[in-house]
Amino acid sequence: MEFCDEIKRRRTFAIISHPDAGKTTLTEKLLLYGGAIQTAGSVKGKATARHAVSDWMELEKQRGISITSSVLQFEYDGFCINILDTPGHQDFSEDTYRTLMAADSVVMVIDAAKGIEPQTRKLFKVTAMRHIPIFTFINKLDRDARDPFELLDQLEKEFGIGTYPINWPIGSGVDFKGVFDRSERKILAFGDMHKGQMKLDAIKCDISDTEKLDSLIGEYSRRELVDQIELLDGASFEFDINEVQKGKLTPVFFGSALTNFGVQPFLENFLKMTTPPLVRATSSGDITPEDEHFSAFVFKIQANMNKAHRDRMTFMRICSGKFERDKEYLHVQSGKTLRLSQPQQLMADSRQIINEAYAGDIIGVFDPGIFSIGDTVCDRAKKVQFEGIPTFAPEHFAVIEHRDSLKRKQFVKGVEQIAQEGAIQIFHEPNTGMERVIVGVVGVLQFEVLEYRLKNEYGVDVIRNNMPYQFIRWIKTPGTDVKSLNLTSDTKWVQDFKGNDLLIFTSDWNINWALEKNEGLILEEFSKE
């Protein structure tokens, strides 16, 4: 296959949602249709001993939630699909933010009974900033659901985006009869007997065929459906693929991921509507996927994916060209040339050595300890540098120290490696060592994950004492003598592991005090270093 054809068949997308909306279940069913797995895991792990393929971390299996993003690649109908399955819980949102930077489109999963929830709002805002296509899958129609018009109205008002239902639900819960495909004018009937195991054949039935519709879904449901479709056809947004690809119109699909219902039609429509790899911005201008020179950026680092080898895996999104195994590439930030001899295709924690990959693909490479989030790797013949990925300000802080002084080395290694993944940030007070570190996180569950991983991956028990601080700011004024700053007594000066000076505060009032009492002081909430 030609180089450009390989790139055009790539589809790389992230799946986002509020916790428990069914995101990981939908991911598993997409993998089933692609033949990547034979049996979907039980996300909660109650009915069977299986767990979701994308939830590979042991703590994920225990808690029944996604803690870290997973990368899943499979083939379907001539397309090479890269799915980025993200955590839904807000405490792990920074991992999701970074992962969204690697996606060309987004699938937003919404619980039909709950509608848009707080975490969905946050994730949508990040997605909308990039103006990439957004597809909506309204899930759990096999349970009692809100009025579908109400759900569409909520999407349009809260997100300021147009909606176009590709199909339309016929009832919900015990009265769920299936969906009506608006373009094909056919019914996909739902029955309890399917139990998610069968591929369902659609039944063509025009909305005007009263007798056939009555036999399929009953007179009451037929009357309601006819009224709703007439209203949709007359008053809803017009379908415009250009608006979809600009992120201004979201195609909406109704279904039930748990029972497989509506998943295959969603996948097939999605692949037709979404885009191949997008153009990416660099410090020297835009770069197209078809540019023959390889370039990629690091969006995720994960330590100890393989417990037997205690390795670090760096996830790269290829933005242009073709990656070739054993070829030398430039690590822009260090200026060093690297030979990446064991590039891997990923399926959660399963790996397969590959010889080549193309723009749009996600690859994993072993990290000798030089990569950071946002780094660029490129062809030596054409140096480019992608824009940095923001580091978000943590909102919760704690002091942690090791219980056993004999485990100091393991403690230092574990904290530093987990911090380099970007999920936690570590600081220390100037002129102190690593016996005692300050940890900052976006959500408090990250503390629990940190303690669990230090114990299970590094053999270190820690003592944690929460701190009252809620805000952190990077000091950006050149040449600042932090010791001479006029600060409140409960403001603390810390440094990150790169030696940058920061201040942590207990309130907004203290931040304003620092700015008012120190003329010319520049404080920033985000860092792109």
The two three-digit tokens of residue 30, written as one number: 């997409």
The two three-digit tokens of residue 340, written as one number: 């990446």
pLDDT category of residue 47 using cuts at 50, 70 and 90: very low
pLDDT category of residue 373 using cuts at 50, 70 and 90: confident
User: In which residue ranges of the chain is CATH 3.40.50.300 found?
Assistant: 8-172+237-273
Q: What is the pLDDT of residue 499?
A: 84
User: In which residue ranges of the chain is CATH 2.40.30.10 found?
Assistant: 280-378
Mutual angle of helices 445-458 and 408-420, in 10-degree steps: 130
Q: What is the pLDDT of residue 200?
A: 57
pLDDT category of residue 114 using cuts at 50, 70 and 90: very high
- Give the mean pLDDT of 27-55: 55
Residue 91 has pLDDT above 60, yes or no: no
Of 291 and 123, more confident = 291
Q: What are phi and psi of 181, to 5 degrees?
A: -80, 115
Q: What is the pLDDT of residue 168?
A: 95
CA distance 510 to 68: 34
Q: What is the pLDDT of residue 57?
A: 45
Q: What are phi and psi of 44, to 5 degrees?
A: -85, -15
Q: What is the pLDDT of residue 53?
A: 43
Q: Mean pLDDT of all residues in the chain?
A: 83
SS3 459: coil
- The dihedral of CA 2, 4, 8, 12: what is its sign? positive
Q: What is the pLDDT of residue 308?
A: 56
SS3 203: strand
Give percent above pLDDT 70 in the chain. Answer: 84
Residue 58 CB neighbour total at 10 angstroms? 15
Report whether 417 contacts 314 (CB < 8 A): no
Residue 49 has pLDDT above 60, yes or no: no
The two three-digit tokens of residue 186, written as one number: 């056919």
Q: What is the pLDDT of residue 62?
A: 46
CATH architecture for the domain at 8-172+237-273:
3-Layer(aba) Sandwich (3.40)
Q: What is the pLDDT of residue 66?
A: 39
Fill in the amino acid letter for 54: S
Q: Which of 66-75, 407-416, 419-428, 484-493 has the highest mean pLDDT?
A: 484-493
**Chain-centroid distance, C-alpha 373:** 15
Superfamily name and number for 280-378:
Translation factors (2.40.30.10)
Whether this model's pTM surpasses 0.85: no
- CATH of segment(s) 396-524: 3.30.70.3280
Q: What is the pLDDT of residue 505?
A: 95
Q: Which of 205-209, 216-220, 399-403 has the highest mean pLDDT?
A: 399-403
- Give the mean pLDDT of 251-277: 92
Residue 250 has pLDDT above 80, yes or no: yes
Residue 58 has pLDDT above 80, yes or no: no
User: In which residue ranges of the chain is CATH 3.30.70.3280 found?
Assistant: 396-524
- Give the mean pLDDT of 56-75: 54
